[in-house]
Amino acid sequence: MPDILLKTLLTAISDLTRWRVLAELLKGEPLPIYELARRLKVNRNTLSKHVAVLRNCGILWIGYGSLYRIAPAYLVPGQRALDFGAVVLRLDRLEHRPASA
């Protein structure tokens, strides 16, 4: 598992929009930025900035066709969670929270 400094990790996951990006990609389908923006109902330019934060610290990868996916090293098999070593981010109940939370 690649090391991410705790400060960098906490900054990267400190925004609800980025949690929503991760939750969407944890469904398993690599997606282009325009489709992520459509599904999350977020402006594409704004979403691009959020995705850049996740990409710059290595949580997201971009592949052929500009499709974004979560770096496999952080995936927890059989769960909607990401394991960063010291921090495990569970996103399985994100959809059940009020949008303003």
Give the integer Cα–Cα distance in Å for 32 and 83. Answer: 24
What contacts 80, CB < 8 A, 6 or more positions away? 23, 26, 90, 91, 92
- DSSP state for residue 11 in the 8-state scheme: H
Dump pLDDT digits (tens) for 23-62. 999 999 999 999 999 999 999 999 999 999 999 999 999 9
* CATH among 1.10.150.50, 1.10.10.10, 3.40.1160.10, 3.40.50.20 for 6-96: 1.10.10.10
Evaluate if pTM is beyond 0.75.
yes
